[in-house]
A and B are shown apart, each in its own frame.
Chain A
Amino acid sequence: MNEIIRISNLTKDYGEGRGIFDINLTVNKGEVFGLVGINGSGKTTLIRHLMGFLKPQKGYTSIMDKDSWRYASELKKHVGYIPGEIAFPEVKRGIDFFKLQAEYLGIRDFSRANELIQRFNLDADAKLKRMSKGMKQKSAIVNAFMANSDIILLDEGSTGLDPLMQSELTNLVKEEKQKGKTIFMSSHIFNELESSCDRVAFLKNGRIIDIVDMNTIRGNESVKEIKIEFIGESDFSNFLSRPFNIIREQTEFNQATILIPDKDINELFNVLQNMNVRFITQKPRTLEAYFKDKYNDAEAV
């Protein structure tokens, strides 16, 4: 294992149940790690600790085996960051902002920045103050990736982007992963995390309720969730008596939802052949569905 980020027993209590509590997780080199949770669940607080902006009350966070509070400035040589709130320094145009940041970072070669500017279709000569939310976000993305940092922290990195640009960001994340970069991203857009992340942590009320390996969610698809509505009640009750794994019955609509492994699918068709079916639909197993289940489970406890 090539551990690159470690969060150990991290606690920051802001009172009234807000904050983050006893967070433990590690991210390996070359991994894309997602953080998901509703607003106020603690995603930003966690990332701010990694950036060394917040001092842990208990526990610690480290990047490349260095404490991220103590070695905050030194670690910035290896870390790119998109803050959750976009507010630029007092410079005129997008390009002035990139030049300023490049000067801080000691970057002389602008080819990477230009490549990103083109890729995201950004008008770098536009005035920062006049930029739309999406344009500002694109500027923040260019800034975070232009230094070719080994580690990128994205706090809601796709906020304000149109769907096309959102998927461009997802592609960029995948490409960076291919280059061996490590990416730690928070989001509430499941689609974004689903297609790019290796693992996703669920945060609720400042605690991690689960960390899933995306492969297991993607792999789950060999068992499918299928919903069938029957035209008559007799067929419906007939169907219920069959040996299928029925997970939900909605009697008022004559609907049944079953979980069925791919190998048994023909048996289902055999049974349905002699019945009056209104529709049949497959519900894809998504990160979102998984999250909702987990979230509700945690609620019930």
Chain B
Amino acid sequence: MISITLMKQTVKANISLALIITAIQALCLVLIASTGQPVKITGQIFYSLLPGMLTSIYIIITGNKLLAAQVDKGSMAYILSTPVKRSKVALTQAVFFIGSLFIMNLITAAALIIPTFILNGSVSPSEWVDIIKFSFGLFLLALAYSGICFLASSIFNLSKNAIAVGGGLVGAFLLLSIMSMFGENFHFVKNFTITTLYNVNTIASGSSDYIWQFAVLAGIGLITYFSGIKIFSKRDLPL
């Protein structure tokens, strides 16, 4: 289904940024967690903004590199001059993107679990649930963001356009969500950004609203990835 050769190549080309971002995230989380607050509070502090920003940097840069940059540069010609189908190329890149984000969030979650375990000697079942909801939710937000960047990367021949549209959208969503925090007057802008669908306060409050919000994020991710693969397989490539 995927090309192992391409997967190896893609991992090599993108792993360093993923590692750096993950390390920063994990380090921040360890620092916050080691102050000894309850998991719920630590999660609310950490997951409310920081990883969204950091992960977005990874998503915008990597999203472009996976397809558009290689078409722009022309190096995609070498992959496609071998008997590898375009759909396979796009699928491989998508699997890498999603997989890398999943692992990044897994490691970040571990950075919350391990200090908690060391400080308290155990992680209670309710703490497990919170941690899973926080990090899986962040993964779904990243899935939606990355889907948007992946779609842009599959549509455009030029890196600058892919980044302007994909990165522009993700950046705008983030900015709007930050704006909405500045008092009542700006509160309404939260309705214009998908970032709102990952709401740490809703998750921590124990309400079940997060379920449909997660579902929407997952839906955005699936649709954008699926169309990205479809479009890349069918369009003209100037190689």
Contacts and interface: CB of A to CB of B under 8 A. Distances in A.
Given A74-B83, A90-B12, A90-B13, A83 B74 contact: yes
A81 B75 contact: no
B228 to A, nearest CB: 18
Given A48-B239, A90-B13, A104 B86 contact: no
Given A76-B83, A100-B9, A53 B237 contact: yes
B5 A100 contact: yes
Interface string A76-107: 11011101011111110000010011011100
A101 B82 contact: yes
* Contact size range, A: 20 to 34
A100 B78 CA distance: 10
Contacts of B81: 51, 76, 79-81, 83, 144
Interface in A28-58: 48, 51-55
Nearest to B12: A90
A143 interface: yes
A220 to B, nearest CB: 38
B84 interface: yes
Interface string B1-28: 0010110010011000000000000000
A73 B74 contact: no
B187 interface: no
Given A53-B239, A90-B9, A90-B12, A73 B79 contact: no
Interface in A138-153: 143-144
A72 B86 contact: yes
Interface residues of B, number: 27
A143 B75 CA distance: 13
A87 B77 CA distance: 9
Which one of B73, B77, B80, B81 has the greatest number of beta carbons of chain A within 10 Å?
Answer: B81
Given A48-B238, A48-B239, A54-B236, A73 B75 contact: no
Contact of B79 (A54, A74, A104): A104
Contacts of B236: 53-55
B79 A76 contact: no
Nearest to A90: B13
Contacts of A52: 80
Nearest to B79: A104
A90 B81 CA distance: 16
Given A103-B5, A104-B84, A143-B78, A54 B237 contact: yes
B238 A88 contact: no
A51 B84 contact: no
Contact of B74 (A85, A90, A144): A85
Nearest to B6: A104
B74 A87 contact: yes
Interface string B61-79: 0000000001001110111
B83 A105 contact: yes
Contact of B82 (A54, A85, A90, A105): A105
A74 B85 CA distance: 8
A57 to B, nearest CB: 10
B84 A73 contact: yes
Interface in B148-188: none
B80 to A, nearest CB: 7
A73 B83 contact: yes
B82 A76 contact: yes
A286 to B, nearest CB: 32
A295 B142 CA distance: 57
Given A53-B237, A54-B237, A104-B5, A89 B79 contact: yes
Contacts of A76: 80-84
A106 to B, nearest CB: 8
13 contacts: A53-B77, A53-B238, A55-B235, A73-B84, A76-B84, A79-B81, A80-B81, A81-B81, A83-B74, A89-B70, A90-B9, A91-B9, A104-B82
Interface of B: 3, 5-6, 9, 12-13, 70, 73-75, 77-86, 88, 234-239
Given A55-B235, A100-B5, 12 more contacts: A48-B239, A52-B80, A72-B80, A73-B86, A76-B83, A81-B77, A81-B81, A83-B78, A87-B73, A89-B78, A104-B6, A104-B84
